[in-house]
Amino acid sequence: MGYAVNGAGDPASLAATATALQRVARDLVDAADSLDSRPAPGAPRRSPANRRLLAELADVCRAAAAVTRTGGDELNRAAYSQARLGHQSAALADEAAAAGLVTGPTGYAMRPGIVGVADPADSATRSAHLAGVRDRAAQLEQHMVREREQLIARLSAAAADAEALAGGLR
Amino acid sequence: MPAPPDPALTLGLLAERCDATVESLLLALPSTGDRLAQAAVDGYLDAVMDLLRMLAAAAREGAGRLPTAPVSQAAPHVAAAPPWGMP
């Protein structure tokens, strides 16, 4: 691959983190709804200052819920995408191996050495196969790069929102 | 999370949920397999954990400033014997 890959990634770990984020997003919305609700009959009257405090905390809860929901959605999407692209890459590698191609540092290539008889038609077929496999590998890589860039952009924006919210609470 | 009518209780539960989520995110090891994406995920999670810690602190502080509902209002079906022994 043409970009920095330090490992295979772990879709399950992304999905588990996404679940924790989505759960807290729901809790934050529930808390905001509860804070916004009218006091029960007979409950102590709320002073204007306390009403303002509760309304502000409810707003922060909803904004925090949006931030955590965004992160959960993005990590879930990344988990699904990583699993799908990993499967497609493996299938392509299997197909290439079956066609007598090998993978090297620069991608797919013909197996080195003399293979079979010098048949121009067979050689042309294998060349066409190699071109097709390389083309699909390039498409997969482009797709991965696009998805990575979207993940980075969306998580960076959500992180900036989280920092702004936390700064408002300090 | 059930929504108790008493806002002080709601804030207490909110603080606990925020703390619990921070703990679970600290234990999570989401792996993207890509250096730049991993940095974005880690940075996002750091920011979210900081936000949740701040929110938990604000919720606790807010809960401390609110009057607590009397027991008979918070749980009207109750356990109803008043502590001072009236019928």
Per residue in A65-111, pLDDT tens?
Answer: 999 999 999 999 999 999 999 999 999 999 999 888 988 888 898 88
- CA distances to A13, A23, A114 from B24, rounded to whole Å, are 12, 11, 56
Chain B nearest-CA distance from A116, in A, is 39
* Overall domain count for chain A: 1
B51:A163 CB<8 A: yes
ipTM of the complex: 0.84
What pLDDT was estimated at residue A118?
A: 64
What pLDDT was estimated at residue A105?
A: 80
pTM over the 0.90 mark: no
A157 touches chain B (CB under 8 A): no
What pLDDT was estimated at residue A150?
A: 97
* Overall domain count for chain B: 1
What pLDDT was estimated at residue A5?
A: 45
In a domain, B80, yes or no: no
In a domain, A147, yes or no: yes
Domain ranges, residue B15: 7-74
What pLDDT was estimated at residue A40?
A: 77
In a domain, B35, yes or no: yes
B60 touches chain A (CB under 8 A): no
Question: Any residues with CB less than 8 A from the CB of A31 and at least 6 apart, and which?
Answer: A58, A61, B1, B3, B10, B11, B13, B14, B17
In a domain, B82, yes or no: no
Domain ranges, residue A62: 11-169
pLDDT digits (tens, 9 = 90+) for A120-147: 777 788 888 899 999 999 999 999 999 9
In a domain, A2, yes or no: no
Q: What interhelical angle do A11-36 and A48-98 show, nearest 10?
A: 160
A55 touches chain B (CB under 8 A): no
A17:B36 CB<8 A: no
Q: Is the pLDDT of residue B74 over 60?
A: no
How many other β-carbons are positioned within 10 Å of the β-carbon of residue B45?
A: 23
| pLDDT mean across residues, chain A | 89
In a domain, A5, yes or no: no
